[in-house]
Structure 1
Amino acid sequence: MTCTQHYTAAEFPSEAGKEITTVYANDPATDAALLESILDRDGAVIVKNLVPQSLCAQIKTDLKPIFDADKPDPAGFFPSTTKRAHGILAKSPASAKLVVNPLFQSVAERMLTSRYTYWEGQEKKTVSAKPQIASIVGFRVEPGGKQQPLHRDDSDYHTRNCDMPVMLGCVTV
Structure 2
Amino acid sequence: IVEMACIENLNDDCLLKIVEYLNLEEQLQLWKSSEPASRMRSVISYSWQREAEHSLDQETFKDNYEVLDEFLQCIRCTVAELTLRYLAMDQLERWKGHTFPNVRQLTYLGDESSEIDGDADIGILVDCFPQLEAIGLSGNTSGNHISRWRNIRRLDLQLCWYLSTQCFEDIC
Q: TM-score range by the shorter chain?
A: under 0.3
With normalisation by structure 2, the TM-score equals: 0.23
With normalisation by structure 1, the TM-score equals: 0.23
